């Protein structure tokens, strides 16, 4: 004999009820089935809403009622194709519904809803569903009977959450089933009767419990809970896409997970079957072939994972009681808990510091105000004597918990849990770990639940796959290249490096798009055309609100305004990767502040592409400094654009056209004056000096320009180009001098003895800079370890492709962080 329980979604539509019937048809061939059913999906909530509206004198309760009526009649219409039978069923159902309508009308008149009436009202859901299903099966020729569970399950009169009188209940159940011969017996879940004959219920979600009580009373071979997911999952599958069904769980693990929010199993369900050692199997009505989750005494034959699941309870309030008057006074906690118990308030989690100076209690949000009032009253005396502060309530919190019998045998589990939460800026308000070490719980903000579950899930269950969520701003040459490279590499990264790299937000100065599941990179351009209008602040706010783990803001602009928002991102624990060099070359305090924020908020700030595009220049310098080497001087050609210009300019090609070409090929900044004035190179050597530990400002970099006054005075890019034509003779002179000296013109940056300077130099034949081709960069680090032969980094130092790949490298570096 088996007991099967079908939940609200399993009996929520005609299609699903047909699936239930098919399942029962096949199982009942082998063994007798006792079937407990919930109300049709959503009906219990709708009954409650209608009642609340009626009590609050809102006439919308009538619409609520009509909706409930409609939902049932549609199901009957669709399930039973014979008019005669259909009408018979409808007649009984309508009679019940009339009763319900009268009850609601009554509530509207008296505007009061007692727990006792609540039970009466909610019981309609299960009564209707069990009747409709048994009649349908009967009509379809199955050997089925209906039994009212109220006649079997006896409780106290604690309405809405009654306690079962097991002795009497067991007796009733055994007596009934001894005589019952039907192959399938259907019973409504959730409802019961008090010793004095009043209708009671077993608490929301209580149909699972009904089934467990019957299973235990009859000592059946198995209890099956049929629902809309394929078992108890590693975490709530509605919040974490990667959650997977757990094959096997011990009873205790199942209790912990369900107690801490895994709604798929009502927590009291386990106890009755545990006592009789009856396994529980959680199965999916929509996918009956899936094996589901097997819950039994034994866990060791399951997986040896330490953490089996992660669960969450939302709508938590934290009560904090503190004060010196608590220290060392016996009986204090007793008074506190007695007060809560008198108010029937369930305590979900407790923590007390060993100093006894404060105690934190997590309870349901809805109980918070009553709890405060009651506790403040109980401790009135101590509060007035200032031994204790009035109780503090914080709302909008949640509890997350990791669960596993085997956790106690593994070190560092809580360390892993809290370090990933910390890395993702999830603030922890309180922590509790049971002495059994089967459960580690943390109280966090409600807004962080999804991120926290996903982060912890990734850490413990996803073969170390790390998801990175990018918010890219600036979709010009470099931005587009970066997006292309990401698209090309996405599947490689996932497969080989276990990095799930997704672009979640994209913006330029006009538009922005978002997709929390990752923007499809096949057709983002089309999507972008219809995007909402963007702002720097708007993009930031959206990134913060999405609250995704491992979020990274990528700045591919050259905008000062964009660079001004880095601090805000870092404070939100969002990493910043930038090729925009304004932030690092702005005033020193700002640069330093960003470094400090990065450390404080554990949000990396990476800008390798600020110097030498994709070349590992900053990284090399950082490694030298970190390993204790002293960088004494740096000599470098750091402008791919200027190198390109001076490599192409000659007495046969004028200066203006050469600069134009450089811009056309994407080697200059949008405003070429930034390159030609030397300011771009000055910024780069400034950044290197700062990375080397120097407190330096841009004004400290000596910049000897090779431009003329009229070049420098130009008011616009066009004027500047015009001035280049006018000053061609000046540039030809520079060229001629270098040629006469057998030298090449190179724009050189130098850092030495704590000073930095940039300027055009004539480089002789034997110098390593002489043969520097095209848009290449070269950096020579002279250090204590490399005193004569410098450490040289050389290669393409400008261009969209290499800059994008430098950004990409910084992003990947974060995955390893
Ligand atoms: P039923 O109507 O069948 O009783 P419930 O809604 O009570 O179904 O429980 C099933 C739901 O529990 C799932 O749809 C899922 O959203 C939720 N749930 C939360 N945590 C978990 C978990 N760890 N494993 C499975 N389901 C979970
Ligand atoms: N119908 C009840 C509820 O929604 C009981 C159950 O479904 O388990 O809470
Ligand atoms: Mg349920």
Q: 313-349: per-residue pLDDT in tens?
A: 999 999 998 887 777 666 777 888 999 999 989 899 8
User: Rounded to 5 degrees, what angle do the CA atoms 752, 756, 761 make?
Assistant: 90
Q: Is the CB of 207 under 6 A from ligand 2?
A: yes
| C-alpha separations of 182 from 31, 80, 173, 218 in Å | 11, 21, 15, 15
Per-residue tokens: 123: 């019981």
Q: CA 594, CA 502: separation in Å to the nearest integer? A: 25
Q: CA 272, CA 257: separation in Å to the nearest integer? A: 17
Would you mind telling me the total number of residues written for the chain in this entry?
817
Q: Is the CB of 293 under 6 A from ligand 1?
A: no
How does residue 354 score in pLDDT terms, banded at 50, 70 and 90? low
Q: Is the CB of 129 under 6 A from ligand 2?
A: no
Residue 243: nearest ligand to its CA?
Answer: 1
- Residue 584: which residues within 8 A CB-CB, separation 6 or more? 591, 594, 607, 610, 683, 687, 690
- Residue 317: exposure state from Cβ atoms within 10 A (0-12, 13-18, ≥19): buried
* Residue 777 φ/ψ region, left for φ over 0, alpha for ψ in the -120 to 50 degree band, beta for the rest: beta
Reference 493, options 484, 502, 483, 482; nearest CA is 502
Reference 456, options 440, 445, 433, 437; nearest CA is 440
Per-residue tokens: 722: 């015009």
Evaluated on CA atoms 295, 297, 298, 303, the torsion sign reads: positive
Q: How many A from CA of 227 to the centre of ligand 2?
A: 12
Residue 189: nearest ligand to its CA?
Answer: 2
Residue 224: nearest ligand to its CA?
Answer: 1
- Kind of pairing between the strands at 33-37 and 184-188: parallel
Site to substitute for ligand 1 among 23, 125, 224, 227, most atoms within 8 A of C-beta: 227
Per-residue tokens: 693: 């530990």
Q: Is the CB of 9 under 6 A from ligand 1?
A: yes
- Answer with the residue of higher pLDDT: 357 or 761: 761
Q: Is the CB of 263 under 6 A from ligand 2?
A: no
Q: 613 and 802 in contact (C-beta within 8 Å)?
A: yes
pLDDT recorded at residue 693: 95
Distance of CA 747 to the CA centre of its chain: 48
Q: Is the CB of 267 under 6 A from ligand 1?
A: no
Q: CA 720, CA 743: separation in Å to the nearest integer? A: 27
Q: Is the CB of 57 under 6 A from ligand 1?
A: no
Q: CA 191, CA 123: separation in Å to the nearest integer? A: 6
755 is catalytic: no
Backbone angles phi, psi at 524, to 5 degrees: -65, -30
Q: CA 796, CA 615: separation in Å to the nearest integer? A: 7
How many helices (H) and strands (E) the chain has is answered by 30, 30
Residue with tokens 């019952």, as numbered in its chain: 180
pTM of the model: 0.76
Per-residue tokens: 304: 């040896």
Residue 6: nearest ligand to its CA?
Answer: 1
pLDDT recorded at residue 299: 61
Q: How many A from CA of 12 to the centre of ligand 3?
A: 13
Q: Is the CB of 229 under 6 A from ligand 1?
A: yes
Q: 187 and 148 in contact (C-beta within 8 Å)?
A: yes
Backbone angles phi, psi at 601, to 5 degrees: -100, 10
Q: Is the CB of 510 under 6 A from ligand 1?
A: no
* End-to-end C-alpha distance for the chain, whole angstroms: 55
Q: 53 and 61 in contact (C-beta within 8 Å)?
A: yes
> Counting atoms of ligand 2 from 1, which one is nearest the CA of 8?
7
Site to substitute for ligand 2 among 205, 208, 264, most atoms within 8 A of C-beta: 205
Q: How many A from CA of 35 to the centre of ligand 2?
A: 15
> Is 692 a residue whose pLDDT tops 50?
yes
Q: How many A from CA of 228 to the centre of ligand 1?
A: 7
Chain segment 743-786, per-residue pLDDT in tens = 999 999 999 999 999 999 999 999 999 999 888 999 999 999 99
Q: Is the CB of 258 under 6 A from ligand 1?
A: no
> Hey, is 399 helix, strand or coil?
strand
Q: How many A from CA of 614 to the centre of ligand 3?
A: 55
Mean pLDDT of 164-189: 96
Q: Is the CB of 263 under 6 A from ligand 1?
A: yes
How does residue 443 score in pLDDT terms, banded at 50, 70 and 90? very high
> Hey, is 553 helix, strand or coil?
strand
Q: How many A from CA of 36 to the centre of ligand 2?
A: 11
Q: CA 143, CA 136: separation in Å to the nearest integer? A: 11
Q: What are the residues facing 192 on neighbouring strands?
A: 200
Q: Is the CB of 190 under 6 A from ligand 2?
A: yes
> Hey, is 363 helix, strand or coil?
strand
The DSSP secondary structure of 209-262, one letter per residue, reads HHHHHHHHHHT-SEEEEEESSSSSBSS-TTT-TT--B-SEEEHHHHHHHHHTT-
Q: Mean pLDDT lowest for which of 15-24, 407-416, 705-714?
A: 407-416
Q: Is the CB of 7 under 6 A from ligand 1?
A: yes
Chain segment 460-473, per-residue pLDDT in tens = 998 778 899 999 99
Q: CA 798, CA 413: separation in Å to the nearest integer? A: 46
Q: Is the CB of 125 under 6 A from ligand 2?
A: yes
Per-residue tokens: 401: 């918990």
Reference 187, options 24, 35, 40, 43; nearest CA is 35
Helix axes 61-79 and 115-139, enclosed angle (nearest 10)? 20
- Residue 118: which residues within 8 A CB-CB, separation 6 or more? 48, 51, 159, 160
* Given the residues 19, 86, 248, 684, the one annotated as active site: 684
Backbone angles phi, psi at 19, to 5 degrees: -65, -40
Backbone angles phi, psi at 32, to 5 degrees: -65, 145
Q: How many A from CA of 263 to the centre of ligand 1?
A: 5
Residue 10: nearest ligand to its CA?
Answer: 1
Evaluated on CA atoms 147, 152, 155, 157, the torsion sign reads: positive
Backbone angles phi, psi at 558, to 5 degrees: -120, 30
Q: How many A from CA of 526 to the centre of ligand 2?
A: 46
> Counting atoms of ligand 2 from 1, which one is nearest the CA of 202?
5
Task: Read off the DSSP letter of residue 151.
Answer: G
Backbone angles phi, psi at 236, to 5 degrees: -55, 110
> Counting atoms of ligand 1 from 1, which one is nearest the CA of 266?
7
pLDDT recorded at residue 332: 77
Mean pLDDT of 491-495: 93
Q: Is the CB of 232 under 6 A from ligand 1?
A: yes
Q: 327 and 289 in contact (C-beta within 8 Å)?
A: no
Instruction: Report which protein residue has its CA nearest ligand 1's atom 12.
Output: 264
Per-residue tokens: 793: 């980094």
pLDDT recorded at residue 317: 96
| C-alpha separations of 363 from 309, 594, 597 in Å | 22, 40, 35
- Answer with the residue of higher pLDDT: 666 or 142: 142
- Kind of pairing between the strands at 439-445 and 428-433: antiparallel
Chain segment 375-401, per-residue pLDDT in tens = 999 989 888 988 888 889 999 999 999
Instruction: Report which protein residue has its CA nearest ligand 2's atom 6.
Output: 205
Residue 7: nearest ligand to its CA?
Answer: 1
CA atoms within 13 A on the CB side of 423: 19
Q: CA 179, CA 231: separation in Å to the nearest integer? A: 34
Chain segment 697-751, per-residue pLDDT in tens = 999 999 999 999 999 999 999 999 999 999 999 999 999 999 999 999 999 999 9
> Is 57 a residue whose pLDDT tops 60?
yes
Q: How many A from CA of 237 to the centre of ligand 3?
A: 15
pLDDT recorded at residue 355: 66
Q: Cβ of 384: how many Cβ atoms within 10 Å?
A: 10
> Counting atoms of ligand 1 from 1, which one is nearest the CA of 312?
20
Q: What are the residues facing 469 on neighbouring strands?
A: 502, 551
pLDDT recorded at residue 300: 55
- Residue 52: exposure state from Cβ atoms within 10 A (0-12, 13-18, ≥19): middle
pLDDT recorded at residue 301: 43
> Hey, is 417 helix, strand or coil?
helix
> Counting atoms of ligand 2 from 1, which one is nearest the CA of 208?
8
Site to substitute for ligand 1 among 43, 44, 226, 229, most atoms within 8 A of C-beta: 229
Q: How many A from CA of 350 to the centre of ligand 2?
A: 28
- Residue 629: which residues within 8 A CB-CB, separation 6 or more? 783, 784, 785, 786
Q: CA 207, CA 189: separation in Å to the nearest integer? A: 4
Backbone angles phi, psi at 257, to 5 degrees: -65, -45
Q: How many A from CA of 214 to the centre of ligand 2?
A: 17
Mean pLDDT of 5-20: 96
Please report, to the nearest 10 degrees, the dihedral formed by the alpha carbons of residues 511, 514, 520, 523 taken in order: -20
3-state secondary structure 423-492: HCCCCEEEEEECCCCCEEEEEEEHHHHHHHHHHHHHHHHCCCCEEEEEEEECCCHHHHHHHHHHHHHHHH
> Counting atoms of ligand 2 from 1, which one is nearest the CA of 210?
8
Q: How many A from CA of 129 to the centre of ligand 3?
A: 15
Chain segment 252-289, per-residue pLDDT in tens = 999 999 998 999 999 999 999 999 999 999 999 999 99
Residue 41: nearest ligand to its CA?
Answer: 1
Mean pLDDT of 290-312: 82
Q: Is the CB of 235 under 6 A from ligand 1?
A: yes
Instruction: Report which protein residue has its CA nearest ligand 2's atom 8.
Output: 205
Q: Is the CB of 44 under 6 A from ligand 2?
A: yes
Site to substitute for ligand 2 among 133, 206, 212, 226, most atoms within 8 A of C-beta: 206
Backbone angles phi, psi at 392, to 5 degrees: -100, 135
Site to substitute for ligand 2 among 190, 202, 210, most atoms within 8 A of C-beta: 190
pLDDT recorded at residue 99: 98
pLDDT recorded at residue 483: 97
Reference 460, options 414, 494, 516; nearest CA is 414
Q: 405 and 308 in contact (C-beta within 8 Å)?
A: yes
- Residue 249: which residues within 8 A CB-CB, separation 6 or more? 232, 257, 293, 294, 295, 299, 302, 308, 309
Q: How many A from CA of 229 to the centre of ligand 1?
A: 7
Q: 321 and 359 in contact (C-beta within 8 Å)?
A: yes
Query: What is the pLDDT of the chain when averaged over all its residues?
Result: 93
């Amino acid at each position: 004999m088996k007991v099967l329980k079908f939940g609200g979604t399993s009996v929520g539509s005609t299609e699903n009820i047909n699936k239930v019937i098919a399942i029962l048809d096949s199982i009942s061939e082998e063994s007798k089935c006792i079937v407990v059913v919930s109300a049709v999906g959503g009906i219990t909530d709708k009954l409650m809403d209608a009642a609340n509206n009626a009590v609050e004198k809102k006439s919308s309760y009538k619409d609520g009622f009509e909706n409930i009526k409609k939902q049932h009649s549609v199901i009957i219409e669709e399930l039973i194709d014979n008019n005669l039978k259909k009408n018979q069923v409808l007649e009984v159902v309508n009679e019940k519904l009339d009763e319900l309508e009268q009850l609601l009308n009554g509530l509207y008149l008296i505007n009061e809803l007692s727990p006792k009436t609540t039970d009466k009202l909610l019981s309609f859901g299960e009564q209707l569903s069990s009747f409709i299903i048994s009649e349908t099966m009967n009509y379809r020729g199955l050997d089925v009977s209906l039994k009212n569970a109220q006649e079997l399950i006896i409780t106290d009169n604690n309405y809405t959450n009654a306690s079962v009188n097991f002795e009497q209940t067991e007796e009733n159940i055994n007596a009934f089933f001894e005589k019952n011969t039907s192959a399938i017996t259907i019973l409504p879940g959730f409802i019961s009767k008090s010793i004095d004959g009043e209708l009671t219920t077993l608490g929301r979600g209580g149909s699972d419990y009904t089934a467990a009580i019957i299973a235990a009373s009859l000592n059946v071979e198995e209890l099956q809970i049929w629902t809309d997911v394929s078992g108890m999952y590693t975490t709530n599958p509605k919040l974490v896409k990667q959650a997977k069904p757990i094959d096997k769980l011990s009873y205790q693990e199942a209790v912990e997970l369900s107690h801490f929010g895994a709604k798929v199993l009502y927590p009291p369900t386990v106890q009755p079957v545990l006592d009789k050692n009856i396994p529980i199997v959680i199965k999916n009505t929509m996918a009956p072939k899936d094996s589901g989750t097997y819950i039994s005494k034994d866990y060791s034959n399951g997986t040896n994972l330490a953490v089996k699941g992660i669960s969450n309870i939302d709508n938590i309030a934290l009560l904090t009681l503190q004060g010196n008057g608590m220290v060392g006074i016996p009986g204090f906690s007793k008074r506190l808990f007695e007060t809560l118990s008198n108010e029937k308030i369930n305590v979900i989690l407790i923590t007390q510091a060993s100093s006894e100076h404060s105690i934190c209690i997590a309870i349901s949000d809805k109980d918070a105000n009553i709890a405060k009032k009651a506790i403040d009253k109980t401790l009135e005396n101590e509060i007035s004597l200032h031994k204790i502060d009035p109780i503090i309530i914080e709302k909008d919190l949640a509890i997350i918990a990791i669960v596993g019998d085997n956790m106690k045998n593994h070190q560092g589990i809580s360390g892993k849990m809290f370090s990933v939460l910390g890395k993702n800026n999830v603030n922890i308000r309180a922590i509790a770990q049971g002495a059994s070490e089967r459960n580690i719980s943390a109280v966090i903000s409600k807004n962080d639940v999804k991120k926290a579950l996903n982060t912890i899930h990734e850490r413990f269950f996803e073969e170390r796959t790390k998801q990175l969520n990018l918010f890219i701003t600036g979709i010009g040459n470099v931005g587009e290249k970066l997006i292309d490279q990401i698209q090309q590499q996405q599947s490689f990264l996932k497969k080989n490096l276990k990095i799930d790299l997704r672009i979640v937000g994209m913006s330029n100065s006009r538009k922005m798009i978002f997709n929390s599941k990752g923007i499809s990179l096949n057709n983002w351009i089309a999507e972008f055309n219809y995007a909402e209008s963007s702002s720097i602040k708007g993009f930031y706010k959206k990134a913060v609100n999405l609250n995704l783990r491992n979020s990274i803001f990528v700045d591919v602009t050259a905008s000062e305004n964009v660079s001004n928002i880095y601090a805000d991102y870092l404070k939100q624990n969002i990493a910043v990767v930038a090729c925009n060099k304004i932030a690092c070359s702005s005033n020193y305090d700002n640069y330093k502040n960003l470094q400090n924020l990065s450390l404080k908020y554990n949000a990396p700030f990476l800008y390798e592409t600020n110097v030498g595009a994709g070349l590992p220049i900053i990284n090399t310098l950082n490694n030298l400094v970190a390993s204790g080497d002293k960088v004494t001087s740096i000599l470098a050609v750091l402008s791919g654009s200027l190198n390109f210009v001076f490599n192409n300019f000659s007495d046969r090609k004028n200066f203006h056209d050469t600069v134009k070409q450089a811009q056309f090929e994407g080697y200059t900044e949008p405003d070429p004056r930034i390159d030609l004035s030397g300011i771009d190179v000055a910024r780069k050597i400034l950044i290197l000096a700062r990375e080397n530990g120097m407190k330096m400002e841009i004004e400290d970099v000596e910049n000897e320009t090779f431009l003329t006054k009229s070049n420098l005075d130009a008011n616009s890019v066009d004027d500047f180009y015009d001035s280049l034509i006018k000053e061609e003779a000046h540039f030809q002179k520079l060229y001629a001098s270098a040629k006469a000296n057998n030298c090449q013109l190179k724009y050189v940056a130098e850092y030495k003895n704590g000073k930095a300077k940039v300027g055009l130099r004539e480089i002789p034949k034997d110098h390593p800079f002489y043969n520097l081709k095209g848009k290449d960069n070269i950096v020579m680090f002279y250090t204590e370890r490399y005193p004569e032969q410098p450490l040289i980094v050389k290669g393409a130092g400008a261009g969209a492709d290499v800059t994008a790949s430098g950004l990409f490298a910084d992003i990947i570096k974060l995955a390893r962080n």
